[in-house]
C-alpha cells in the first residue's frame, strides 16, 4: 500500500510541476481509522497528503462534470468506466482529464470490519498485502482483507482501469465468471416475494438522495425528484412514491451504471439499492450486448437501436 501511495504521489507531483493539470483528485487518510476520504491537491507541496489503501471507496468521477480546471483523477476500474461514460455523454472532455489508473484489489467494507471487532473499538489499522492488522487499546487482531470486500467489489469484472494515461502498480488478473447469480436467484422468487422484499427495503429509505449524489453518472442539473413542473413523484412518505423513486433512479441509469456501488455505500439506512441497478445491468447486457464504460466508441444502448431488437414482450392479439 505504501508503494502505491508513493507512486501516486510521484505522478501527482510531476503533473502539477509540469502544469499538466491544475488539480489532482485522489484520496487522503481520514481522521478516523478505516476511513480514507477524497481530496483535491492543487499545490506541489501538498502531494504528500495523497494516500492509498483499501478504503478509497468513493467514486471520484462524481467530481468531474462541470469542473473548469484541468484535472487528474486517481481511477480504479469502476472510476475509469464512469469517466468513459461521462466522456461519451459529453460531460467531461477527454483532453481535459488525466486518469491515474490504479488496478484495484477491491475495497474493504468498513462496517463489516467494525462489526467483527465490536464491541471493541479499533484505534489503528494497518494494511499489508492481504492482511489487515487492527489494533485497539487492549487487542490486536489480523483479518484477511479479501474476506471483507464490498458486495460491488466481489462481483467486479473490471478491476483494472479501462482507460488510463498513467498506470500505477501492476495489471491484475480479471475474473470473468458470471457475476449475476444473485439476480437470477432473486428472479426465481415469486412476484409476491420480490415485491415484498423490495417494498421492505424501500420502506427504509428516508429520501435523502445521497445515493443520487454519490453516483458519478447522476449529473442532471435538475433531477426528476426535484422537478415540480410536472412533479413526477410526490414528496410524501407513501411507499408508492419511494418505490417509484427507486424504480426510476435505476431506470435512468440503465446502460450507464458502471456497478461502482457508490450509491449503496452512500445510503445511511442500508437500502438494497443494488438489486434494481444490477437487474438493468444484466438486461442491457443480455438484450443489447452492452456493458457500460468499457470503450469510447460503442454507442450507448438507449441512444441507438437495431431493427431486430427483441420483440418478445410485444402483445400480438
| Calpha distance 307→236 (Å, rounded) | 41
Q: Which stretch binds other proteins (CB under 8 A): 15-23, 40-48, 169-177, 273-281?
A: 273-281
Q: Encode burial over 250-259: b for 16+ CB neighbours within 10 A, e otherwise.
A: bebbbbbbbb
With beta carbons less than 8 A apart as the criterion, state whether 278 and 198 touch. no
- C-alpha cell belonging to residue 166: 498513467
Q: For residue 24, which of 66, 74, 68, 65 has the smallest C-alpha distance?
A: 74
Contact with ligand SF4 (CB under 6 A) among 32, 269, 287, 296:
269
User: Does residue 273 bind other proteins (CB under 8 A)?
Assistant: no
Q: How many CA atoms lie less than 13 Å away from 172 in the CB half-sphere? A: 20
| Calpha distance 166→145 (Å, rounded) | 26
User: Does residue 15 bind ligand SF4 (CB under 6 A)?
Assistant: no
Contact with other proteins (CB under 8 A) among 224, 272, 294, 298:
224
Within 28-67, the residues that bind other proteins by CB under 8 A are none
At closest approach, how far in Å is the CB of 208 from other proteins? Answer: 20
User: Does residue 208 bind ligand SF4 (CB under 6 A)?
Assistant: yes
User: Does residue 211 bind ligand SF4 (CB under 6 A)?
Assistant: yes
**Is omega for the bond preceding 119 within 30 degrees of 0, making it cis?**
yes
User: Does residue 191 bind other proteins (CB under 8 A)?
Assistant: yes
* Residue 193 touches which member of ligand SF4, other proteins, none, C-beta under 5-8 Å by kind: other proteins
Distance of CA 39 to the CA centre of its chain: 17
User: Does residue 316 bind other proteins (CB under 8 A)?
Assistant: yes
Q: For residue 216, which of 5, 46, 58, 18 has the smallest C-alpha distance?
A: 58
35 Cβ neighbours under 8 A, 6+ residues apart: 55, 110
User: Does residue 12 bind ligand SF4 (CB under 6 A)?
Assistant: no
Contact residues: ligand SF4, CB under 6 A: 59, 205-211, 214-217, 253, 257-263, 266-269, 271, 273, 277
Given the rule CB under 8 A, which residues bind other proteins? 186-187, 191-196, 198, 224, 232, 234, 236, 238, 240-241, 243-244, 247-248, 250-251, 254, 276, 279-280, 283-284, 287-288, 301-302, 305-307, 309-311, 313-317
Amino acid at each position: 500500500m505504501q508503494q502505491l501511495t508513493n507512486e501516486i504521489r510521484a505522478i501527482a507531483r510531476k503533473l502539477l510541476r509540469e502544469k499538466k493539470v491544475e488539480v489532482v483528485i485522489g484520496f487522503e487518510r481520514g481522521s478516523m481509522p478505516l476511513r480514507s476520504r477524497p481530496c483535491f491537491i492543487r499545490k506541489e507541496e501538498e502531494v504528500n497528503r495523497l494516500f492509498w489503501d483499501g478504503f478509497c471507496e468513493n467514486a471520484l468521477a462524481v467530481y468531474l462534470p462541470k469542473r473548469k480546471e484541468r484535472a487528474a483523477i486517481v481511477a480504479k476500474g469502476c472510476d475509469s468506466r464512469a469517466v468513459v461514460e461521462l466522456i461519451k455523454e459529453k460531460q467531461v472532455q477527454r483532453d481535459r482529464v488525466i486518469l491515474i489508473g490504479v488496478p484495484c484489489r477491491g475495497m474493504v467494507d468498513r462496517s463489516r470490519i467494525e462489526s467483527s471487532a465490536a464491541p471493541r473499538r479499533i484505534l489503528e489499522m494497518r494494511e499489508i498485502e492481504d492482511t489487515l492488522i487492527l489494533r485497539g487499546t487492549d487487542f490486536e487482531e489480523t483479518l484477511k482483507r479479501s474476506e471483507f470486500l464490498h458486495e460491488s467489489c466481489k462481483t467486479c469484472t473490471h478491476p483494472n482501469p479501462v482507460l488510463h494515461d498513467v498506470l500505477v502498480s501492476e495489471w491484475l488478473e480479471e475474473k470473468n465468471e458470471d457475476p449475476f447469480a444473485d439476480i437470477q436467484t432473486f428472479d426465481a422468487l415469486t412476484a409476491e416475494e420480490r415485491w415484498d422484499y423490495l417494498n421492505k427495503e424501500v420502506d427504509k429509505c428516508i429520501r435523502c438522495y445521497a445515493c443520487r449524489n454519490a453516483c458519478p453518472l447522476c449529473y442532471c442539473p435538475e433531477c426528476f425528484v426535484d422537478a415540480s413542473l410536472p412533479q413526477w413523484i410526490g414528496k410524501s412518505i407513501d411507499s408508492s412514491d419511494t418505490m417509484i423513486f427507486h424504480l426510476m433512479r435505476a431506470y435512468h441509469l440503465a446502460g450507464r451504471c458502471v456497478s461502482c456501488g457508490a450509491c449503496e455505500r452512500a445510503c445511511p439506512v442500508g437500502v438494497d439499492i443494488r438489486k434494481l441497478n444490477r437487474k438493468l445491468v444484466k438486461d442491457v447486457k443480455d438484450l443489447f450486448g452492452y456493458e457500460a464504460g468499457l470503450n469510447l466508441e460503442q454507442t450507448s444502448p438507449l441512444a441507438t437501436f437495431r431493427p431486430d431488437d427483441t420483440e418478445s414482450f410485444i402483445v400480438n392479439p
